[in-house]
């Protein structure tokens, strides 16, 4: 193992996934393309994690060189995975933020049927918490505010989904414009 692998990095989260009580994938996002490049490898990893954790009452597991924190609710299992050296408390803060945010959006009905009915909101929440493996937010109230969720409205309106997409596109455009400027100035030097 070289010393660069132990240096701190912003890319904390390697994967987030939600499984049902049979270990079937409902949602998964892998942020390290070299980790499990194929769908088959990802599903095998998820099945191994599920088999190791679904009967346990712990909150943390170590498997295949990964640190995994997890939580269950009725018929769902929530997982956040990081490298073996990753701080478990940081991973747990992501897991708790995800769970609390979804609990609000699903009106405390954190179970399979409601999760599937509100999948667009679930995806928005995951995207607000983690972007490319970097933790953006760990406060559920901030996440709910960013996805424009109101407890007295429908869980998510079409407007809030469109607003989220517009904001992500604007951010991507700004990043690309900045990179283009940097390249231009480096060529002109």
- Each residue's pLDDT, cut to its tens digit, for the chain (189 residues) gives 444 455 667 888 999 999 998 989 999 999 988 888 899 999 999 999 999 888 877 788 888 889 999 998 888 999 999 988 888 899 999 999 999 998 888 888 888 888 888 888 889 899 999 998 888 888 999 888 888 755 444 455 555 566 666 666 666 676 677 767 777 777 776
What is the Cα–Cα distance from 52 to 151, expressed in whole angstroms?
A: 36
Domain spanning 9-156, CATH architecture:
2-Layer Sandwich (3.30)
pLDDT of residue 70: 93
pLDDT of residue 7: 66
pLDDT of residue 28: 93
What is the Cα–Cα distance from 30 to 44, expressed in whole angstroms?
A: 14
Three-state SS for 53-107 is: HCCCCCCEEEECCEEEEEEEECCEEEEEEEECCCCHHHHHHHHHHHHHHHHHHCC
The whole model's pTM is what?
Answer: 0.74
pLDDT of residue 146: 84
pLDDT of residue 1: 44
pLDDT of residue 130: 92
pLDDT of residue 73: 85
């Amino acid at each position: 193992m070289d010393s660069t692998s132990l240096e701190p990095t912003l890319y904390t989260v390697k994967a987030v996934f939600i499984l049902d009580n049979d270990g079937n994938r409902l949602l998964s996002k892998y942020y390290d393309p070299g980790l499990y490049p194929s769908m088959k490898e990802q599903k095998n990893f998820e099945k191994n994690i599920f088999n190791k954790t679904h009967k346990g009452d712990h909150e943390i597991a170590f498997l295949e060189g990964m640190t995994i924190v997890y939580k269950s609710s009725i018929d769902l299992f929530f997982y956040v995975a990081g490298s073996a050296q990753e701080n478990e408390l940081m991973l747990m803060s992501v897991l708790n933020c995800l769970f609390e945010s979804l609990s609000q959006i699903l009106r405390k009905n954190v179970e399979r049927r409601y999760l599937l009915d509100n999948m667009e909101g679930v995806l928005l929440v995951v995207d607000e918490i983690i972007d490319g493996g970097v933790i953006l937010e760990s406060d559920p109230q901030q996440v709910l505010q960013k996805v424009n969720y109101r407890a007295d409205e429908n869980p998510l309106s079409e407007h809030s989904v469109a607003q989220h997409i517009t904001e992500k596109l604007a951010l991507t455009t700004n990043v690309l414009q900045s990179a283009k400027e940097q390249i231009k100035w480096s060529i002109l030097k």
